[in-house]
Amino acid sequence: MASDIEAPASFDSLRHNVQARYDGLSPHLQRLARLALEDPNSFALETVTSLAQTAEVQPSTLIRFAKEFGYSGFSDMQKIFKLRLIEGAPAYREQIHQHRTRLEAAAERDPMAILQEFTDASILCLERLKDTVDPAALARAIEMIAAADTIYVIGQRRAFPIAAYIAYGLARLEHRTQLLDFVGGMVPQQAATLRPTDLLIAVAFAEYTPAVVETVRDVHIRNIPTLTITDVPTSPLAQHGTVYFCVDDADIHRFRPIAGSISLAQSLIIGLGYYKDARKEDRGHGLKA
């Protein structure tokens, strides 16, 4: 063991350590050092034996390598490599939990504290949205909307405001849009009139309003394109979405922030606006190369 008061706790500091002491290492340890910095993924996922094979050293050398940098053994060092892979991801749910407890603590008397905590939580949702949305799905969703003849939008309870906003936005962009709002109780009949050239946009979160789920399923089974916004990949709306988005906003005191979903909806609308503008321009200037 080189010195006693070390053991880097982050991948970055470990890398610095390895780089600084590289010249003073024995040949085999140098080989491992190179491997560790060039292919850290393998160090996170593979076993001592298989790493030893690829590096053409004995397993015990890997343990000596780990101890050389202050860890108690290989497993101890491997934690750092595993951490590097998930970087930042686990923070979200913990942070939300913090917000929730803080909100519950300070809330009873001061509404302003509620506002504070709630907007903070909403901001977190928005930050996360940027990371979790699949760019390909976003592009495809916009194309689907642009290609559709008539767009039907459905959403109930907490999801209704989002559905309403989508309908509003589409109408502003002069799309044929129909918000299925259950007034008059004719939704099943309305859904039955959808054609394969139309599009159904559905929004629902747990517990998924049965009427919405059924509508989506019926329409999707009839091979009519569906675009769904829901919370988790296992939701029935994800299963029956031709394209789907998951915006999982952890709930805060029985109410979930919907800022994430709303912003996604708004981004879809704005993206659609640009998409249509671009196509209009192309048509105006003739065919493009």
Partner DNA sequence: CACAAAATGGAAAGTTCGTTCGAATCAGGC
Partner DNA sequence: GCCTGATTCGAACGAACTTTCCATTTTGTG
- Footprint on residues 2-41 left by DNA (CB under 7 A): 26-29
Residue with token string 């504290």? 113
- Binds 188, which of DNA, a second copy, none (CB < 5 to 8 A, cut-off by type)? none
Strands 243-246, 150-155: pairing is unpaired
Q: Which of 69, 55, 62, 76 is nearest to 18 (CA)?
A: 69
Q: In terms of CB distance, is 20 or 195 closer to a second copy?
A: 20
Q: In terms of CB distance, is 53 or 101 closer to DNA?
A: 53
In the structure encoding, which two tokens stand for residue 92, read together?
């979200």
**Whole-number Å distance between alpha carbons of 163 and 144:** 17
Window of 73-81, 90-98, 132-140, 204-212 that interacts with DNA by CB under 7 A: 73-81
Strands (E), the chain: 150-155, 176-180, 199-203, 226-230, 243-246
In the bound complex, what is the minimum distance in angstroms from residue 49's beta carbon to a second copy? 14
Give exposure, 14-26, as e/b (b: 16+ Cβ within 10 Å).
bbebbeebeeebe
Binding status of residue 211 toward a second copy by CB under 8 A: no
Binding status of residue 57 toward DNA by CB under 7 A: yes
Binding status of residue 287 toward a second copy by CB under 8 A: no
Q: In terms of CB distance, is 105 or 195 closer to a second copy?
A: 105
Q: Which residues contact 212 (CB under 8 A, 6 or more apart)?
A: 154, 155, 156, 159, 202, 203, 204, 237
Q: In terms of CB distance, is 190 or 266 closer to a second copy?
A: 266
Window of 70-78, 149-157, 192-200, 242-250 that interacts with DNA by CB under 7 A: 70-78
In the bound complex, what is the minimum distance in angstroms from residue 158's beta carbon to a second copy? 6
Binding status of residue 74 toward DNA by CB under 7 A: yes
Q: Which residues pair with 245 in a beta bridge?
A: 229
Instruction: Return the residues of window 54-93 that contact a second copy according to CB under 8 A.
Output: 82, 85-87, 89-90, 92
Q: How many residues bind a second copy (CB under 8 A)?
A: 82
The DSSP code for 232 is S
Is the N-terminal amide bond of 207 cis, ω within 30° of 0? yes
In the bound complex, what is the minimum distance in angstroms from residue 192's beta carbon to a second copy? 22
- Binds 111, which of DNA, a second copy, none (CB < 5 to 8 A, cut-off by type)? a second copy
Among 6, 8, 15, 64, the residue binding a second copy under the rule CB under 8 A is 15
Instruction: Return the residues of window 220-259 that contact a second copy according to CB under 8 A.
Output: 232-234, 236, 238-239, 248, 252-255, 257-259
Q: In terms of CB distance, is 25 or 37 closer to DNA?
A: 25
Q: Which of 181, 235, 175 is nearest to 205 (CA)?
A: 235
Among 6, 76, 214, 218, the residue binding DNA under the rule CB under 7 A is 76
Binding status of residue 18 toward a second copy by CB under 8 A: yes
CA geometry: angle at 96 spanning 92 and 97, to 5°? 115
The DSSP code for 105 is H
